[in-house]
Structure 1
Amino acid sequence: MTQTEAPPDSAPKRKGKLPLVIGLAGAIALGGGGFYATYSGMILGAGEEEESTPAHAALPDITFVPVDPITISLGPQSSARHLRFASQLEVSSPYAAEVQLLLPRISDVLNSYLRAVELAQLEDPSALMRLKSQMLRRVQIVTGQDRVRDLLISEFVLN
């Protein structure tokens, strides 16, 4: 049993770095092409939507009706003593006079609601959106569904 030794010339040849460079260049080219196609709107149609919207959209016909600020004293178990609340109502312009006429009733509804809310909800910063939607719903019941579009809270301070 004799072993045959391979001549020194037949050692495995190393592959060059050329396939790696070609693969890397291809990946960069395809990535750049994909980015350009998406950004320019050739894919997903983003370019069509931008062309159809006007550059200067007309503002809606709205009026802001200020609601008198409300100060509510909180119970003895709270860390704060008072809640100061101020807001404005976004109203379609034809209904501004009617909503202005109902402001005492709106203040009463907001005051009653804020006094009934639990102290933990008032102190929770994430609860403001829930409170806002509840107050807007009550204001819309008082004024009618289509008169008040939104309630904008300009001041909500616990001190």
Structure 2
Amino acid sequence: MAETDKTPEDSGEDAPKKSSKLPLILGLVLALAGGGGGFFAVQAGLLGGAEEGADEPAEVEEAEALPDLAFVPMETLVVNLPAGAQADHLLFTAQLEVEPAHAEEVANLMPRIVDVLNGYLRAVKLSELEDPTALIRLRAQMLRRVQVVVGEGRVKDILIMEFVLN
């Protein structure tokens, strides 16, 4: 019985047997061959990766021409906010989107536009200025006031470039 109970120390085997690297190398070679074969099959059109007529350039649809517009810049308005507000000033800069034929007329009326917007922004409640969702309503109100000053059909939109409470 003593012979069957031998330990590796008794038999002289100090290190365990090392496994073969053949399965690892074989797996790597097969993976590379499979990847190369898949790439070839897709490029050759065998697996539907390439469509017939893919060599021909696709017809480009001509984009619709952009409308003819002009933008009239406004000077930056600085509005003092009442005491107790989180900020001291409102910085407001915008551009007016107009028909090119009316750009000069609108630019000539800029002092009136600035006056109307300055008066409106000073009259707006502080809670509305601080509400992040109120900008859409304020923009619509300002556009309507500008359209009243310059006349219908001259100003299409007001683009707010800067609306900063600091």
- Scaled by the length of structure 1, the TM-score of the pair is 0.66
Offset, 1:86: 0.1
Q: Give the Cα–Cα distance (whole angstroms) in 1 for the partners of residues 84 and 76 of structure 2.
A: 24
**Alignment partner of 2:130 out of 113, 123, 128:** 123
Aligned to 1:152, what secondary structure does the other structure show? strand
CA RMSD of aligned residues (A): 0.7
Aligned to 1:84: 91
Aligned to 1:93: 100
Q: Give the Cα–Cα distance (whole angstroms) in 1 for the partners of residues 77 and 119 of structure 2.
A: 11
Higher helix share: 1
Aligned to 1:136: 143
Q: Give the Cα–Cα distance (whole angstroms) in 2 for the partners of residues 129 and 99 of structure 1.
A: 23
Offset, 1:59: 1.1
Q: Give the Cα–Cα distance (whole angstroms) in 2 for the partners of residues 55 and 136 of structure 1.
A: 33
**Alignment partner of 2:160 out of 129, 153, 156:** 153
Q: Give the Cα–Cα distance (whole angstroms) in 2 for the partners of residues 68 and 109 of structure 1.
A: 13
Aligned to 2:78: 71
Aligned to 1:95, what secondary structure does the other structure show? helix
Offset, 1:61: 1.1
Unaligned runs of 5+ in 1: 1-53
Amino acid at match of 2:107: Q
Q: Give the Cα–Cα distance (whole angstroms) in 1 for the partners of residues 83 and 67 of structure 2.
A: 45
- Scaled by the length of structure 2, the TM-score of the pair is 0.63
Identity in percent: 57
Q: Give the Cα–Cα distance (whole angstroms) in 2 for the partners of residues 111 and 80 of structure 1.
A: 17
Offset, 1:77: 1.4
Offset, 1:55: 3.4
Unaligned runs of 5+ in 2: 1-60
Residues 55-70 of structure 1 mapped to structure 2, 5 A cutoff: 55-70=62-77
Amino acid at match of 2:137: R
Q: Give the Cα–Cα distance (whole angstroms) in 2 for the partners of residues 94 and 59 of structure 1.
A: 16
Offset, 1:58: 0.7
